[in-house]
């Protein structure tokens, strides 16, 4: 293996500089998903960055659930997200929830009120919008902006006690209604929502807003580099405002609830750094759209192998190392761009070409009878599992008089340049010898039902004629020993590069590839059937396949095609 290349993106450069200058002893990062859906490949990019930096610079990375929207969140997602992070090969330092800090947030809000930095506002949501102004016009101050500290504290405590209806009041930061940055125009810090929370039950009728909760969670965990996607760039001034005004490091009274829960506080002023999101063509990548595909039955659940969810691509046969390779290859920058789907597929091909054992399978079988072998002929051939990697070992493959070969490896009327089997022609049976096709048997309808041929005894393995040149080599399985298998041939879920393009009034739902899943009933060699779920193979000449992690059984094998051997889309685009 070549030594890993040192990654030199701008974020790693910042981390290096901060370590060199002594600003930080080690980086602390976090991956902060909202548990409102399953993770997708875009999240894998963020995970590889957050956890990757912690690994590379001997730091640590927390997994933190940003669970401040109880109405949309579910423990099912919490479990799946943990599973996904582990599967990608990462281990978190601490597992946290924003809800672990609800008490800290509350005390921080009271601190802001006492400092004159926050006020309780009675404007309705609609009035708040009117007062906010626009990009070209400053906003107007809320009539409640100058309430006394005592009145604010009293009202905020009553919000917390559940006295007011949903939406009746908000707690707002007191910043600047004329700011050019809309996020600084007295943004809401707390809203009233009488909703049960998966972790805190009915303890809280008020919930903190994203910017307040996120910045303070980072500060509470001593995060040094808070990495997020570019859409949060405009939120950074508010992030910094919250961190500075609350100043956790100098407010031990806010930290008692953390210490009480055994969560040590390590002071550090977190720095938010933004990078561009991953976008890939031929797919959609927002939890909301993926949710729609599932809810409308356009795919078979979150782990449908065509889904760009991590559960989906995992079931499709993508390996953790192929995704880490992909994350390295797309890199980290501030430029928004569209990544070609084939880059993702090539990462899987590279990984599996190097590491997957080879097997033989026939997906569209036609029988080939070797008439010069006795009926009872049976032998065992020894095949290396990998052409280049001996450490992957070898396996036995049974060989007998009747074989299954691929229907498309025979042509009655061969096109120009045909290298496979024709009537009267020779072809090599991979690892077994050279066969000549003597006879084509058809049924009453004229369809070919069987081929008969002669195996050249001089061409058998170890014989003098074993190296005789013939144009083509085809794969096969012994009919008597082959195991029936269901093989699901997946392809891209969308058949246009930009399924999100809404021109002509279409939506991504109208661009589903009708051929994204076809099912073949084929035959595999016995060693393939013995696969463990999630074991990956190259089926020779056909592509890379994985034993389905849900449905595969040794006595009823099910394989998913993960990716074809070569890119078949390049010419279509
Ligand atoms: P979506 O917009 O797809 O629904 P999200 O951004 O709402 O996703 P979160 O749970 O908030 O999902 O994301 C957790 C982390 O993953 C955030 O730091 C976010 O910036 C990052 N992330 C989400 N999507 C991408 C992406 N496409 N590329 C890179 N990072 C992403
Ligand atoms: Mg989000």
Helix (H) or strand (E) holding 17: helix 10-20
Residue 2 has pLDDT above 70, yes or no: no
Task: Classify burial at 214, counting beta carbons within 10 Å of its beta carbon; exposed 0-12, middle 13-18, buried 19 or more.
Answer: buried
CA of 229, nearest ligand number: 1
Q: Which candidate, 480, 485, 461, places its Cα nearest to that of 542?
A: 485
Q: How far apart are CA 345 and CA 347, in angstroms?
A: 5
User: Does 210 contact ligand 1 (Cβ within 6 A)?
Assistant: no
pLDDT at 255: 85
Question: Of these residues, 277, 430, 452, 468, which one is catalytic?
Answer: 277
Average pLDDT on 72-89 reads: 95
* Residues 147-200: tens digit of each pLDDT: 999 999 999 999 999 999 999 999 999 999 999 999 999 999 999 999 999 999
Contact indicator for 326, 563 with CB cutoff of 8 Å: no
pLDDT at 500: 87
Task: State how far the alpha carbon of 487 is from the alpha carbons of 71, 292, 532, 541, in Å.
Answer: 40, 27, 15, 15
CA of 40, nearest ligand number: 1
* Residues 450-497: tens digit of each pLDDT: 999 999 999 999 999 999 999 999 999 999 999 999 999 999 999 999
β-strands 426-429, 473-474 pairing: parallel
* Bigger pLDDT: 7 vs 172: 172
Q: How far apart are CA 495 and CA 281, in angstroms?
A: 10
CA of 277, nearest ligand number: 1
Question: Of these residues, 7, 16, 23, 34, which one is catalytic?
Answer: 34
Q: How far apart are CA 571 and CA 573, in angstroms?
A: 6
Three-state secondary-structure class, residue 161: coil
Q: How many CA atoms lie within 13 A of 443 on its CB side?
A: 4
Confidence label for 573 from pLDDT (cuts 50, 70 and 90): very low
Average pLDDT on 29-33 reads: 98
* Residues 227-259: tens digit of each pLDDT: 999 999 999 999 999 999 999 989 988 888 888
Q: Which residues does 6 contact at the CB level (< 8 Å), separation at least 6? A: none
Task: State how far the alpha carbon of 359 is from the alpha carbons of 397, 482, 528, in Å.
Answer: 10, 12, 6
Residue 402 has pLDDT above 80, yes or no: yes
Residue 262 has pLDDT above 90, yes or no: no
Average pLDDT on 100-128 reads: 97
* Residues 280-300: tens digit of each pLDDT: 999 999 899 999 999 999 999
Percent of the chain residues topping a pLDDT of 70: 99
Q: How far apart are CA 570 and CA 573, in angstroms?
A: 6
Burial string for 404-419 (b: 16+ CB within 10 Å, else e) reads: bbbeebbeeeeeeeee
Length of the chain: 573
Structural domains in the chain? 10-275 (3.40.50.620), 278-359+481-573 (2.40.240.10), 361-475 (2.40.240.10)
Question: Of these residues, 12, 287, 420, 488, which one is catalytic?
Answer: 287
* Residues 318-348: tens digit of each pLDDT: 999 999 999 999 999 999 999 999 999 999 9
Confidence label for 5 from pLDDT (cuts 50, 70 and 90): low
Closest Cα to atom 16 of ligand 1: 43
Q: How large is the angle between the packed helices 236-246 and 210-220, nearest 10 degrees?
A: 60
User: Does 277 contact ligand 1 (Cβ within 6 A)?
Assistant: yes
Residue labelled with tokens 């039955």? 297
The reply to whether 287 belongs to the active site is: yes
Burial string for 445-480 (b: 16+ CB within 10 Å, else e) reads: eeeeeebbbbbbeebbeeeeeeeeeeeebbbbbbbe
pLDDT at 263: 78
Query: To test ligand 1's pocket by mutation, which of 11, 33, 289 has the most ligand atoms within 8 angstroms of CB?
Result: 33
Lowest mean pLDDT among 1-10, 161-170, 514-523, 552-561: 1-10
Average pLDDT on 115-133 reads: 98
Tell how far the Cα of 516 is from the centroid of ligand 2, in angstroms. Answer: 29
HEC readout, 278-327:
CCECCCCCCHHHHHHHHHCCCCCCCCCCCCCEHHHHHHHCCCHHHHHHHH
pLDDT at 184: 98
Residue 373 has pLDDT above 80, yes or no: yes
> From the CA atom positions of the chain, what is the Rg in Å?
31
pLDDT at 3: 54
User: Does 42 contact ligand 1 (Cβ within 6 A)?
Assistant: yes
Q: Where are the beta strands (DSSP E) in 26-105?
A: 28-31, 60-65, 95-97
Residue labelled with tokens 């509350």? 106
Confidence label for 6 from pLDDT (cuts 50, 70 and 90): confident
Question: Which contacts qualify for 156-162: CB closer than 8 Å, 24 or more apart?
Answer: 156/109, 156/110, 156/113, 156/120, 156/190, 159/120, 159/190, 159/192, 159/205, 159/206, 160/106, 160/204, 160/205, 160/206, 161/205, 162/194, 162/205
pLDDT at 571: 59
Lowest mean pLDDT among 128-142, 145-159, 494-508, 536-550: 494-508
Q: pTM for the complete prediction?
A: 0.95
């Amino acid at each position: 293996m070549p030594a890993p290349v040192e990654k030199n993106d701008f974020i790693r450069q910042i981390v290096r500089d901060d370590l060199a200058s002594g600003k930080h002893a080690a980086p602390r990062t976090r991956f902060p998903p909202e548990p409102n859906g399953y993770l997708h490949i875009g999240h894998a990019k963020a995970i590889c960055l957050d956890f990757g930096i912690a690994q590379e610079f001997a730091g640590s990375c927390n997994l933190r659930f940003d669970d401040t929207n109880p109405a949309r969140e579910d423990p099912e997602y919490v479990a799946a997200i943990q599973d996904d992070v582990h599967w990608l090969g990462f281990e978190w330092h601490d597992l946290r929830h924003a809800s672990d800090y609800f008490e800290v947030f509350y005390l921080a809000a009271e601190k802001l009120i006492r400092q004159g930095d926050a006020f309780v506002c009675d404007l309705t949501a609609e009035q708040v919008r009117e007062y906010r102004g626009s990009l070209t016009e400053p906003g107007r101050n809320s009539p409640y902006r100058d309430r006394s500290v005592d009145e604010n504290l009293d009202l905020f405590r009553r919000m917390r006690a559940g006295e007011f209806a949903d939406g009746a009041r908000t707690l707002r930061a007191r910043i600047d209604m004329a700011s050019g940055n809309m996020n600084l125009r007295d943004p809401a810090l707390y809203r009233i929502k009488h909703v049960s929370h998966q972790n805190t039950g009915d303890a809280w009728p008020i919930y903190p807003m994203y910017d307040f909760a996120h910045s303070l969670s980072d500060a509470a965990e001593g995060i040094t580099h808070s990495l997020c996607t570019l859409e949060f760039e405009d939120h950074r001034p508010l992030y910094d405002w919250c961190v500075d005004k609350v100043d956790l490091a100098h407010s031990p009274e806010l930290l008692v609830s953390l210490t009480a829960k055994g969560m040590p506080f390590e002071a550090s002023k977190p720095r938010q750094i933004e990078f561009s999101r991953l976008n890939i063509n031929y797919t959609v990548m927002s939890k909301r759209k993926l949710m729609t595909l599932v809810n409308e039955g356009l795919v078979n659940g979150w782990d449908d192998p065509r889904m760009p969810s991590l559960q989906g691509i995992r079931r499709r046969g993508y390996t953790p190392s192929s995704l880490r390779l992909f994350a390295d290859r797309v890199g980290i920058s501030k430029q928004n761009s569209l990544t070609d789907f084939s880059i993702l597929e090539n990462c899987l091909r590279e990984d599996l070409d190097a590491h997957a054992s080879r097997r033989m399978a026939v997906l569209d079988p036609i029988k080939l009878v070797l008439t010069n072998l006795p009926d009872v002929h049976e032998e065992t051939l020894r095949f290396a599992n990998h052409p280049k990697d001996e450490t992957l070992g070898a396996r036995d493959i049974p060989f007998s008089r009747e074989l299954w070969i691929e229907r498309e490896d025979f042509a009655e009327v061969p096109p120009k340049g045909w290298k496979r089997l024709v009537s009267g022609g020779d072809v090599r049976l991979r690892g077994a010898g050279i066969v000549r096709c003597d006879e084509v048997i058809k049924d009453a309808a004229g369809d070919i039902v069987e081929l008969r041929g002669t195996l050249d005894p001089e061409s058998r393995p170890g014989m003098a004629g074993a190296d005789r040149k013939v144009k083509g080599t085809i794969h096969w399985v012994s009919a008597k020993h082959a195991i029936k298998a269901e093989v699901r041939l997946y392809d891209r879920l969308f058949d246009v590069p930009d399924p999100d393009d809404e021109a002509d009034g279409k939506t991504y739902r109208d661009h589903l590839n009708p051929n994204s899943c076809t099912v073949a009933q084929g035959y595999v060699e016995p060693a393939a059937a013995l696969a463990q779920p999630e074991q990956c193979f190259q089926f020779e000449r056909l592509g890379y396949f994985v034993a389905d992690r849900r449905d595969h059984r040794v006595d009823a094998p099910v394989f998913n095609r993960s990716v074809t051997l070569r890119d078949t889309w390049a010419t279509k685009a």
